[in-house]
Chain A
């Protein structure tokens, strides 16, 4: 039971990270109709810049802030320089151009930071563990990630449904010509939305830094998971991103933790481990296929 709750929390934490990644990406998909493969690169930029600044200044908070700034600013620059030319092109061109961006960013980090992965230390005040329930000891850092992620989700909800900017973004998603005609600077709006998305990816990256190794190409594995989340949730829907991210995080974590032992009850142990492990890594894709057969446009299809 204790183990189960612990894994549940781990799943929640992965889900939160995925939500930060997919919230921005789903907006870019939904509002600008652009498929952006390079979203993982901003996750990587966030992690690298965060790790470097943390080591240099000794302050994790400064590291996080630098990571957010770096990811957001790079994102806006990429939007202005590259993506803006692609809004009217078909999806194939967008795929290829952003594929080129991945090549560039991955190699650039290799040139700047070298091939060796960086390791990022947790701040002292988030080190250690806390006893949540009798017998359930959980690392504070991971709890902090969950809390931060949830606050961001609340903030986004507030931004979208309660502010003028959020209203414009939603209007831009349903009819971009009309909102342009009403005098909203749609170009600036797109740049801001894209920057917000990459900033969130940078946040996900810097928070993942102390948990995983910071290395070139780290963005791609999480990018694919993010796609799965968005396809499950429905392209363009932030609500869908929340639900999809939690589903994917939980299924993936719980599958990895419990499928091998489940198979061990009726298969020989070595065979069960390999079948269980490979089924566990396939589980989210099976989940996605199932959702798409049931609802081809995802769980929360957006309007357009």
Chain B
């Protein structure tokens, strides 16, 4: 077997790569790379937040897109109301200030995660997978029914949010904002899973009976994990709405939840940095296959099955080869 590459080397190499990407794109004159990699950063953020749930909490949620969608819709609705200068529901003024709207997107996503999580965590196993899926679909149909905000067609933002000292409409500025948030979320998650909280979570995931016997209220820990994951996804949603300057119910659709799950597994479950690798590989593979054939999914499906069957530990596990 090939010799293992230390984790820190991979992480530093990744950090250097992402930091230098805008200059590289500029040098090679491939400006579209910046927006492609911005998308990769945002999906990475969402995938890392899902990895917290699946990889550490053992919570296989197939409804994670709901929180991405909520974050995106909060951003878009506030923008829309500030654009047409009409208060939301006649009470709250709209806003396009990132410092106001993004925290709101995070808080509202987290609030939804709290409600959905506290209901879903009454169940476990297969039931949990299906009930999270059903809640996400419920919100999807809710978004389709939002005629005021475009319904099925979605809602366009005419510009990105305002952020003090930055010009988010500048792609390079926006790229670094996304990179900053991904790094921040990775740092927080890393601290979290190394803490006592993370230990309890992993314990509950591997043997919930033992954790209960130790007198620890595991459901509360899992719920907090679910809420933090939802908050991270909400932030990813807010960024995604800004990047594409457009939101649609598609952001809440269960196929996005499935894709995020694929990214997590492709990169390596329960490794935090793995999902970044997974999201990068997934989106680059999609981009490359789509270049050659319109029917890229016919190849992608079997590749995915192969990865599941034979490469359990994902790309990150393959590179670090702990065993």
Interface residues on A, range: 35 or more
Q: State A180–B146 Cα separation when bound (angstroms).
A: 54
Collect the chain A residues with CB atoms within 8 Å of residue B145's CB: 274-275, 277-279, 281-282
A-B contacts, 15 of them at CB < 8 A, read: A33-B126, A35-B129, A93-B308, A95-B62, A95-B261, A102-B301, A103-B300, A104-B297, A227-B130, A228-B130, A231-B134, A274-B145, A281-B141, A285-B134, A288-B134
Q: Look across to chain B and name the residue whose beta carbon is closest to the beta carbon of A228.
A: B134
Tell me whether B295 is interfacial, beta carbon within 8 Å.
yes
Tell me whether A108 is interfacial, beta carbon within 8 Å.
yes
9 closest pairs, A vs B, by CB?
Answer: A278-B145, A104-B301, A100-B304, A103-B301, A285-B138, A107-B297, A281-B141, A107-B298, A100-B305
Query: Given that A95-B129, A97-B309, A228-B134 are contacting pairs, would A296 and B302 also be in contact in the complex, using a CB cutoff of 8 Å?
Result: no
Tell me whether B54 is interfacial, beta carbon within 8 Å.
yes
Collect the chain A residues with CB atoms within 8 Å of residue B304's CB: 96-97, 99-100, 103
The answer on a CB contact under 8 Å between A110 and B295 is yes
Tell me whether A213 is interfacial, beta carbon within 8 Å.
no
Q: Look across to chain A and name the residue whose beta carbon is closest to the beta carbon of B54.
A: A92
Given A82-B309, A95-B258, A111-B295, 19 new contacts (CB under 8 A): A95-B60, A95-B62, A96-B258, A96-B265, A99-B261, A99-B262, A100-B301, A100-B308, A101-B305, A111-B298, A224-B133, A228-B130, A278-B142, A278-B146, A282-B138, A285-B135, A286-B138, A292-B122, A292-B123
Question: Chain A binding site: helix, strand, loop or mixed by DSSP?
Answer: helix
Tell me whether A237 is interfacial, beta carbon within 8 Å.
no
Q: Look across to chain B and name the residue whose beta carbon is closest to the beta carbon of A85.
A: B309
The answer on a CB contact under 8 Å between B125 and A91 is yes
CB interface residues, B 25-48, toward A, < 8 Å = none
Tell me whether A119 is interfacial, beta carbon within 8 Å.
no
The answer on a CB contact under 8 Å between B305 and A29 is no
Query: Given that A100-B308, A224-B133, A278-B145 are contacting pairs, would A293 and B60 also be in contact in the complex, using a CB cutoff of 8 Å?
Result: no
Interface residues on B, range: 35 or more
Q: Look across to chain A and name the residue whose beta carbon is closest to the beta carbon of B128.
A: A91
Of B127, B147, B301, the residue contacting A292 (CB under 8 A) is B127
Tell me whether B4 is interfacial, beta carbon within 8 Å.
no
The answer on a CB contact under 8 Å between A282 and B141 is yes
Rounded to whole Å, the gap between the CB of A42 and the closest CB of chain B is 15
Query: Given that A224-B137, A292-B119 are contacting pairs, would A235 and B60 also be in contact in the complex, using a CB cutoff of 8 Å?
Result: no
Tell me whether A106 is interfacial, beta carbon within 8 Å.
yes
Tell me whether B144 is interfacial, beta carbon within 8 Å.
yes
Tell me whether B56 is interfacial, beta carbon within 8 Å.
no
Tell me whether B65 is interfacial, beta carbon within 8 Å.
no
Q: State A293–B127 Cα separation when bound (angstroms).
A: 12
Chain A residues engaging chain B, CB cutoff 8 angstroms: 29, 33, 35, 37, 82, 85-86, 89, 91-93, 95-97, 99-108, 110-111, 220, 224, 227-228, 230-231, 235, 274-275, 277-279, 281-282, 285-286, 288-289, 292-293, 296-298
Q: State A101–B305 Cα separation when bound (angstroms).
A: 8
Q: Which of B123, B129, B302, B312 has the largest number of chain A CB atoms within 10 A?
A: B129
Collect the chain B residues with CB atoms within 8 Å of residue A99's CB: 258, 261-262, 304
Q: Look across to chain B and name the residue whose beta carbon is closest to the beta carbon of A102.
A: B301
Of B123, B142, B302, B309, the residue contacting A282 (CB under 8 A) is B142
Collect the chain A residues with CB atoms within 8 Å of residue B142's CB: 278, 282
Q: Which of B133, B147, B308 has the largest number of chain A CB atoms within 10 A?
A: B308
Rounded to whole Å, the gap between the CB of A227 and the closest CB of chain B is 5
Chain B residues engaging chain A, CB cutoff 8 angstroms: 54, 60, 62, 119, 122-123, 125-127, 129-131, 133-135, 137-138, 141-142, 144-147, 254-255, 258, 261-262, 265, 269, 295-298, 300-305, 307-309, 312
Rounded to whole Å, the gap between the CB of A182 and the closest CB of chain B is 27
Q: Which of B145, B254, B307 has the largest number of chain A CB atoms within 10 A?
A: B145
Q: Which of B119, B127, B302, B312 has the largest number of chain A CB atoms within 10 A?
A: B127
Q: State A97–B141 Cα separation when bound (angstroms).
A: 26
Query: Given that A91-B126, A99-B258, A292-B123 are contacting pairs, would A82 and B62 also be in contact in the complex, using a CB cutoff of 8 Å?
Result: no
Collect the chain A residues with CB atoms within 8 Å of residue B54's CB: 92
Q: Look across to chain B and name the residue whose beta carbon is closest to the beta carbon of A115.
A: B294
Collect the chain B residues with CB atoms within 8 Å of residue A231's CB: 127, 130-131, 134
Q: State A100–B265 Cα separation when bound (angstroms).
A: 13
Q: State A282–B143 Cα separation when bound (angstroms).
A: 11
Query: Given that A29-B126, A106-B297, A296-B127 are contacting pairs, would A224 and B254 also be in contact in the complex, using a CB cutoff of 8 Å?
Result: yes
Q: State A100–B302 Cα separation when bound (angstroms).
A: 6
Collect the chain B residues with CB atoms within 8 Å of residue A279's CB: 145
Collect the chain B residues with CB atoms within 8 Å of residue A224's CB: 133-134, 137, 254
Q: State A235–B144 Cα separation when bound (angstroms).
A: 29
Collect the chain B residues with CB atoms within 8 Å of residue A220's CB: 254-255
Rounded to whole Å, the gap between the CB of A91 and the closest CB of chain B is 6
Q: State A152–B265 Cα separation when bound (angstroms).
A: 39
Q: Look across to chain A and name the residue whose beta carbon is closest to the beta carbon of B135.
A: A285
Rounded to whole Å, the gap between the CB of B208 and the closest CB of chain A is 14
Collect the chain B residues with CB atoms within 8 Å of residue A292's CB: 119, 122-123, 127, 131
Q: State A297–B124 Cα separation when bound (angstroms).
A: 9
